[in-house]
């Protein structure tokens, strides 16, 4: 039994796919056959199973937004009362800056307690202007946070107490989610990220499902504990700081690339990558990712990676992930069309690096490819390196009963069916070139 088994039915362009992930898995097929859909689906399934707390953090942040608005409204409304307002502001900032839920919960509760005391003071003083402002905030609490109609005679301090109870309840719910790892929340997050429903998908690790109809709680994974997805080397240079347009897996990869270099990475593989790119290496810069990497050529010339050839960017991604300690036996690297932008010779070199990373580090790969050079190189280099037992190819074939719908067929290490599919291009050349 393969450690990870993926079963897909009627998902986007995929009619059916039964894919075993164990070592190096290569999927091939024409454009629009669902290769990227498989890659993204698997990426999000593995990412969220290994980082379930990210899902909970997003949900908690969303649930806390009305309470954030309440505190912010109070700060802006009563700015003239500087001593206490400044204290509320400090706790509010602490709540938003901290990544520790215990600290966040305490900071929110303290800020709300301070607001309660402030309102008690104003209601005692009975200043008309303050009372009107408090009444407005009461409406905000009732409509946006507690979702209830105003009870006649209810005091603002009682409403703040209700908000404190609700806030504590939100943190308790988050703790419960992190403990039980509810599948419904996990499924909802993947559905949103992959933009489709998981109803006909089942993914198992060592026979235990973590995606599927019969899953109630998401198990902690063992075989794959970290995942990265590369669909373009042009991530180097993209504006990843526009929160309205950033693709999630681009941002995730960007975060991985910014991790400081490890001391224990494989210098042998690093040296080989340097030899491929004419002795060049990549230099770190701590400013930001867009200027974090520079390419130093063997003649000493230093070039910003933004201005480097796209092929060099492709190798820089692998080298940086290697040096950062990301690539290990517990990592799966998903790569979409690695041959894009590469010279034919470098396609073969890239394939060799993939084999080296698997053989020496145990890094797992899921690769979508159109290239006969890449596919041939993966097959024959893996045979020479005696890792071909961990290599498998899958080919997408159009369903005979439905256009634009594809079945993924396991072909083991026999790449002839892939070549037969690709060779249709030669027929087209003959047809359009008149030599048929």
Separation between Cα atoms, residue 391 and residue 409, nearest integer Å? 15
Phi and psi angles of residue 414, each rounded to the nearest 5 degrees, phi first = -90, 110
- 244-277 pLDDT, tens digit per residue, is 457 899 989 988 988 888 888 998 998 898 888 7
Neighbour-count burial of 377, counting CB atoms closer than 10 A to its CB (0-12 exposed, 13-18 middle, 19+ buried): buried
pLDDT for residue 293: 62
**Rounded-to-integer distance, Cα 30 and Cα 28, Å:** 7
Instruction: Give the pLDDT confidence of 47-90 residue by residue, as tens digits.
Output: 999 999 999 999 999 999 999 999 999 998 887 656 789 899 99
Higher pLDDT, 340 or 126: 340
β-pair type (302-304, 293-296):
antiparallel
pLDDT at 20 over 90: yes
* pLDDT at position 390: 96
pLDDT of residue 239: 57
Give CB contacts under 8 A, 24+ apart, made by 230-235.
230/317, 230/333, 230/334, 230/335, 230/336, 230/338, 231/36, 231/39, 231/335, 231/336, 231/337, 232/336, 232/340, 233/310, 233/311, 233/313, 233/314, 233/316, 233/317, 233/340, 233/341, 234/310, 234/313, 235/317
Q: What is the pTM assigned to this prediction?
A: 0.89
Compute the average pLDDT of residues 379-385: 97
Q: How confident is the model at residue 308 (pLDDT cuts 50, 70, 90)?
A: confident
Give the pLDDT confidence of 190-222 residue by residue, as tens digits.
Answer: 999 888 888 899 999 999 999 999 999 999 999
Say how many C-beta atoms besides its own lie within 10 A of residue 24's C-beta: 24
Instruction: Tell whether the model's pLDDT for residue 240 goes beyond 60.
Output: no
Q: How far is residue 391's CA from residue 354's CA, in Å, rounded to a whole number?
A: 11
Asked if 33 contacts 402 with a C-beta cutoff of 8 angstroms, the reply is no
Q: How long is the chain?
A: 436
Cα gap 388→331, rounded to integer Å: 19
pLDDT class for 289, splitting at 50, 70, 90?
very low
Q: What is the pLDDT of residues 161-199, one digit of tens each?
A: 999 999 999 999 999 999 999 999 999 999 998 888 888
Closest CA to 37 of 227, 190, 245: 190
pLDDT computed for residue 286 by the predictor: 38
Whole-angstrom Cα distance, residue 246 to residue 118?
41
Chain-wide mean pLDDT for the chain?
A: 88
Answer yes or no: is pLDDT of 150 > 70.
Answer: no
Separation of alpha carbons 117 and 83, rounded Å: 13
Asked whether the predicted pLDDT for residue 294 surpasses 80, the reply is: no
pLDDT-derived band of residue 309, with 50, 70 and 90 as boundaries? confident
More confidently predicted of 389 and 282:
389
Q: Which two tokens stand for residue 319?
A: 């080298």
pLDDT band for position 420 (50/70/90)?
Answer: confident
The two tokens of residue 112 are 């709300």
Interatomic CA distance for residues 235 and 228, integer angstroms: 13
E strand map for 224-363: 226-230, 281-284, 293-296, 302-304, 331-336
Predicted local confidence at residue 15, as pLDDT: 97
Q: Read off the tokens for 263.
A: 């001391």
User: Is the four-CA dihedral 122, 126, 128, 131 of positive or negative sign?
Assistant: positive
């Amino acid at each position: 039994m393969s450690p990870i088994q993926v079963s897909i039915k009627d998902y986007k362009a995929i009619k059916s796919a039964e894919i075993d992930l164990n070592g190096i898995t290569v999927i091939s097929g024409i454009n629009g056959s669902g290769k990227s859909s498989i890659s993204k689906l698997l990426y999000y399934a593995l990412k969220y199973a290994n980082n379930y707390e990210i899902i909970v953090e997003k949900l908690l942040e969303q649930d806390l937004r009305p309470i954030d608005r309440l505190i912010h409204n109070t700060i802006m409304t009563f700015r003239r009362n500087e001593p206490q307002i400044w204290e509320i502001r400090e706790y509010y900032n602490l709540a938003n800056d901290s990544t520790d839920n215990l600290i966040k919960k305490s900071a929110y509760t303290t800020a709300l307690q301070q607001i309660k005391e402030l309102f008690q003071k104003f209601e005692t003083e009975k200043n008309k202007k303050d009372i009107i402002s408090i009444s407005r905030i009461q409406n905000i609490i009732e409509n946006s946070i507690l979702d209830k109609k105003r009870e006649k005679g209810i005091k603002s301090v009682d409403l703040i107490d209700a908000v404190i109870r609700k806030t504590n309840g939100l943190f308790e719910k988050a703790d419960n989610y992190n403990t039980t790892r509810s599948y419904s929340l996990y499924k909802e997050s993947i559905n949103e990220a992959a933009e489709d429903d998981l109803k006909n998908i089942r993914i198992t690790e060592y026979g235990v499902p973590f995606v599927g109809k019969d899953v109630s709680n998401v198990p902690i994974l063992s075989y794959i504990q970290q995942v990265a997805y590369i669909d373009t080397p042009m991530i180097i240079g993209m504006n990843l700081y526009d929160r309205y347009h950033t693709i999630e897996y681009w941002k995730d990869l960007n975060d991985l690339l910014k991790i400081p270099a490890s001391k224990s990475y494989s210098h042998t593989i690093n040296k080989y990558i340097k030899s491929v790119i004419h002795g060049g290496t990549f230099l770190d810069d701590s400013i930001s990712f867009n200027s974090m990497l520079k390419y130093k050529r063997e003649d000493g010339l230093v070039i910003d990676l933004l201005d480097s050839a796209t092929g060099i960017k492709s190798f820089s991604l692998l080298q940086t992930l290697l040096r950062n300690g990301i690539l290990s036996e517990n990592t799966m690297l998903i790569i979409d069309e690695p041959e894009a932008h590469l010279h034919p010779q470098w396609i073969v070199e890239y394939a060799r690096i993939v084999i080296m990373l698997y053989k020496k580090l145990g890094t797992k790969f899921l690769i979508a490819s159109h290239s006969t050079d890449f596919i041939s190189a993966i097959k024959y280099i893996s045979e020479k390196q005696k890792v071909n037992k961990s290599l498998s190819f899958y080919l997408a074939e159009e369903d005979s009963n439905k256009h634009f719908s594809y079945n993924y067929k396991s072909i083991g290490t026999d790449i002839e069916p892939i070549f037969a599919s690709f060779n249709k291009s030669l027929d087209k050349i003959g047809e359009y070139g008149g030599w048929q």
